[in-house]
Structures are given as structure tokens and as C-alpha cells.
Amino acid sequence: MSVLPLVFTSGWASGINAYAVVLLFGVFGATGLTDEVPESLQRTDVLIAAGVLFLCEAVADKIPYVDSVWDAVHTVVRPVSGAVVGALLAGESGSLPELAAGAVGGSTALLSHLVKAGTRMAINTSPEPFSNVAMSMAEDLGVAGIVTFAIFNPEAAAVVAAVLLALGLVILGFLAHRIRRFLRRRAQRREERRMASAEVAEGPRRPGG
């Protein structure tokens, strides 16, 4: 059986929460629920690191504007993680070339990351923090549910992931104007901070100066 559906689903999930994907796969492999997980993801040090980083993301992801900074930092991390996990899964099963699996996992992770990051920018134009918390919890539960589902039914899980990715891209298009508003606000804040820093560095002017 081809591992491609599992690679695609793991890529989609990695674009949302890469640390949760590594942690879930590692736990599933270590507990014997699946033979598809390579030994490298089941190592104790990998599981501990993934667990700590998952907790950090769980906090940062629920704070307005902090979540967007976190997403910006992970623009490279999530696609790379999706590519690495995909390649490892392919290497374990031997049914798909590792390079192809890495390309699928990485590109899918990049697309889902762009959906996540763009949606958060739009949400951050709202003054209240509750939507950030609700969205973050929905993402965490969605990743956990679909990755778990993929272990037992990878083809069906891949279909669900593909539908969610397509819907996310469509929604992202509708939210484009709110994303532009978020970027304008961030640019204004940076300019205000720059001007304030310049005034402090310049210091008080001397009388008659």
C-alpha cells in the first residue's frame, strides 16, 4: 500500500502544528499502534523536544499578534518539518521515493501554513482575544483528530485534509482585505516605534538650540 496519503496528511498537519505531528507519530509508533512510523521519530529525545515545543506553541498560538510572530518564524520550520516527516515515512515503507515524499510533504505543509498564518492575520484585526483562543484550540484538535484518523484510514484522512486545505485557500482569498489591514497596522506600529526610538536617541533639545 502506498504511503502517499499518509505523507499528504502529515504535510497538511505539519503546516498547522509541526510539533504536534512529530509528537503524535512518535507516540503512536512507540506504543505499537502503527508500523509506519520510523524509529527516528520514536526516540525519547525527539519526543521530549517535540513535547516542549508543542507546549510553547500552545501558549504563543493563543495570544493575539504573538501568534503571527510565531507563524512568521515558522514559515521555514513547518514546510521543512513536513518534508522531513514525509521522507522518513516513505523511507520506512519503501513504497514511495523519499525525495518525492519530501516534496509532497513540504509543499502541502507550506500551503497549509500560509492558510493558517493568513487566517490569523485576519483574526488579529479584531480587538478581542477569544477568537484566537478558539481558532487555536480548533486547529490543535483538528490536527490531533486527522493525524490519528490517518493512522487507521490514511486514504480517507487524506481526502479530509485535501478538502480542508482547499476550503482554507478559498477562505484566505475572501480574507485578503483583512490581511492587508493587519499588515498596514503592523507597518504603522513599526514606524511609530522607530520614531519614538529616534526621539529618545536625539534627547531633549537645549534651549535656544
pLDDT at site 15: 96
How far apart are the two ends of the chain, measured CA to CA in Å? 80
Supply the pLDDT for residue 139: 93
Neighbours of 72 (CB within 10 A): 11
DSSP string covering 151-192: HH-HHHHHHHHHHHHHHHHHHHHHTHHHHHHHHHHHHHHHHH
pTM of the complete model: 0.83
Length of the chain equals: 209
pLDDT value for 209 = 47
**Which pLDDT score is estimated for 161?**
97
pLDDT attached to residue 203: 61
Q: Report the half-sphere exposure of 41 (CA within 13 A, side-chain side).
A: 29
Residue 177 pLDDT = 78
Span 75-93, pLDDT tens digits: 999 999 999 999 999 988 8
Give the chain's radius of gyration (CA, Å). 20
The whole-number pLDDT of residue 144 equals 96
pLDDT (0 to 100) of residue 198: 64
C-alpha–C-alpha distance, residues 51 and 57, integer Å: 10
Q: What is the pLDDT of residue 202?
A: 64
Q: What pLDDT, on a 0 to 100 scale, did the predictor assign at position 197? A: 67
pLDDT below 70 — which residues of the chain?
1, 127, 186, 196-209
